Amino acid sequence: MKNTNYSAIIKRLIREAVGARSNCPIKIVNGEGAPKLVGQSYYYTNASGDVIHYPSAYRKAWGKPIYKPSTIRVEVGSNWILNNLTIKNIKFQKLKAFL
């Protein structure tokens, strides 16, 4: 019998539930909340905090824009995982991956 990393399968199922990319981090919170995408995409600002929409043009004229990284993540309730991702469902997904 081959060992299986069930946490990877669970993470994949959670990301598929919201249509997130495969590198999107997952944060487990308390409660019954279904998976949802939260956070903000990356953006650039200037020194005073104004959002820069065209960083290349700004760089040529006024200097270096400040990069603000993405905070997008998937948040899911711990009770939702326990109630909706049963071992039967996970095994079915594992079998489906090999078909």
pLDDT of residue 16: 86
pLDDT tens for 31-87 read 999 999 999 999 999 888 899 998 888 877 788 889 999 999 999 998 888 888 777
Predicted TM-score of the model (pTM): 0.72
From residue 2, give the alpha-carbon distance in Å to each of 5, 6, 11: 10, 12, 20
Q: Which has the minimum average pLDDT: 83-87, 88-92, 93-97?
A: 93-97
Q: How far apart are CA 42 and CA 71, in angstroms?
A: 7
Please give the structure tokens belonging to residue 61.
Answer: 């004229």
